[in-house]
């Protein structure tokens, strides 16, 4: 068994143009002051990292590493969620997802996809330069508008969609293979990889590419009413990253899983700060330890009620208190006795 590393914190939801959230040095000081040991960096945010520059400049990479280390922190992973999202966008979402693209790619889906593929590929290169062997991403989605369809999906549509998704990701995965970096897809509604079945479909479509891994976030599974503990039993071989995020689901006679187009505060399913929701983190940390998870426990703060500062302040001790320092001996070793083959045979009466 292995002890989960942590606590770490995903910086994306805290980034701002005001101190201490406006550059890498300042936000590292803030995170370290709260008790975090590592940061997960959103690679699209040039306040923290410039992928193009990092891919080309050894000195710049060393500067990033030095800034983080100065505060006693490590980099847990790079995140490419927004760029990964743009690898595959259904036309229905073109206008909304253009917000994630550079200005010169907006309104040009082909150019936007090419940019996204390059960005995620660069993140693999930079991850290796930083000494990291995994990165986080979204899969993007071509099939999501047909998730609950009317009229029904035509035969073969799902298979075609996953073949195309795999074709778009294969060049990235091959770069990841070259640099020995896993892509950990966050299993997330809105993505074509939104549960275990769809993860398996994508894995098959990539011909089981060995760089296809998983980011486990129980909040998204709880809001889909999945068994998020059994999920670990099923997929622990693929789980290489862990977002520690809480959620609650309180269906009513008026609304359920789909949320009725309501704001987050009024939805039956909503994200909460750690400890305020329904996720059984004690069991999750136990299972991850049992299955030798060797990654970081990373706070992802998203809450419709509590402030981000309070969520971050409470998150570090919450994670630290759930990390299990795994035992190196069995509890009943004291009662054991030395044995050999002949002794074992006598015990069995053979």
Q: Is the peptide bond before 20 cis (omega within 30 degrees of 0)?
A: yes
**Confidence band, pLDDT 50/70/90 cuts, at residue 334:** low
Q: So what's the pLDDT on residue 338?
A: 74
**Confidence band, pLDDT 50/70/90 cuts, at residue 335:** low
Whether the per-residue pLDDT at 329 is higher than 80: the answer is no
Whether the per-residue pLDDT at 257 is higher than 90: the answer is yes
> What would the DSSP string read from start to end of 22-40?
SSHHHHHHHHHHTT--EEE
The 10s digit of each residue's pLDDT in 57-69 is 999 999 999 999 9
Average pLDDT, the chain: 96
Q: So what's the pLDDT on residue 308?
A: 97
Whether the per-residue pLDDT at 327 is higher than 90: the answer is no
Across-strand partners of 184?
136, 213
Q: How far apart are CA 145 and CA 241, in angstroms?
A: 27
Whether the per-residue pLDDT at 232 is higher than 90: the answer is yes
The 10s digit of each residue's pLDDT in 70-110 is 999 999 999 999 999 999 999 999 999 999 999 999 999 99
Whether the per-residue pLDDT at 337 is higher than 90: the answer is no
Q: So what's the pLDDT on residue 204?
A: 98
What domains lie within the chain, and their CATH numbers?
5-348 (3.20.20.150)
Q: So what's the pLDDT on residue 39?
A: 98
> Minimum mean pLDDT among 95-99, 158-162, 257-261, 336-340: which range?
336-340
| Burial class of residue 346 (count of CB atoms within 10 Å of its CB; 0-12, 13-18, 19+) | exposed
Q: So what's the pLDDT on residue 176?
A: 98
> Minimum mean pLDDT among 46-50, 296-300, 301-305, 335-339: which range?
335-339
> What would the DSSP string read from start to end of 192-233?
S--SHHHHHHHHHHTTS-TTEEEEE-HHHHHTTT--HHHHHH
Percent of the chain with pLDDT over 70: 99
Q: Report CA-CA distances (Å) from 11 to 18, 68, 75, 83, 117.
A: 14, 13, 11, 16, 23
Q: Is the pTM of this model over 0.85?
A: yes
| Burial class of residue 83 (count of CB atoms within 10 Å of its CB; 0-12, 13-18, 19+) | buried
Whether the per-residue pLDDT at 14 is higher than 70: the answer is yes
Structure tokens, 111: 């150019």
Q: Is the peptide bond before 258 cis (omega within 30 degrees of 0)?
A: no
Give the closest residue to 141 by CA, choosing from 194, 204, 100, 213: 194
Q: So what's the pLDDT on residue 126?
A: 98
């Amino acid at each position: 068994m292995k002890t989960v590393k942590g606590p770490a914190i995903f910086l994306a939801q805290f980034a701002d143009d005001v101190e201490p959230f406006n550059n890498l040095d300042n936000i590292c000081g803030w995170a370290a002051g709260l008790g975090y040991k590592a940061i997960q960096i959103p690679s699209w945010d040039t306040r923290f990292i410039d992928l193009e520059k990092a891919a080309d400049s050894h000195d710049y990479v060393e500067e990033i590493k030095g800034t983080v280390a100065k505060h006693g922190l490590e980099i847990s992973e790079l995140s490419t969620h927004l760029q990964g999202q743009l690898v595959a966008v259904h036309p229905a979402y073109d206008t909304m997802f253009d917000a994630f693209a550079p200005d010169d790619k907006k309104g040009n889906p082909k150019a936007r996809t090419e940019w996204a593929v390059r960005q995620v590929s660069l993140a693999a290169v930079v991850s290796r330069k930083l000494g990291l062997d995994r990165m986080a991403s979204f899969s993007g989605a071509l099939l999501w508008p047909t998730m609950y369809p009317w009229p029904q999906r035509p035969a073969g549509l799902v298979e075609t969609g996953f073949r195309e998704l795999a074709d778009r990701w294969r060049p990235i995965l091959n770069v990841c293979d070259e640099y020995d970096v896993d892509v950990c897809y966050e299993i997330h509604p809105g993505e074509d990889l939104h549960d275990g079945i769809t993860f398996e479909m994508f894995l098959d479509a990539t011909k089981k590419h060995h760089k296809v891994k998983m980011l486990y976030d129980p909040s998204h599974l709880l809001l889909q009413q999945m068994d998020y503990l059994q999920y670990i039993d099923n997929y622990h071989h693929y789980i290489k990253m862990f977002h520690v995020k809480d959620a609650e689901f309180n269906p009513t006679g008026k609304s359920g899983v789909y949320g009725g187009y309501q704001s987050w505060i009024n939805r039956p399913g909503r994200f909460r700060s750690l400890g305020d929701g329904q996720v059984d983190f004690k069991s999750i940390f136990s299972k991850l330890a049992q299955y030798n998870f060797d990654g970081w426990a990373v706070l992802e703060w998203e809450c419709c009620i509590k402030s981000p500062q309070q969520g971050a302040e409470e998150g570090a001790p919450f994670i630290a208190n759930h990390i299990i320092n795994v035992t190196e001996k069995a509890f009943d070793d004291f009662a054991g006795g030395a044995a050999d083959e002949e002794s074992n045979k006598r015990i069995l009466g053979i």
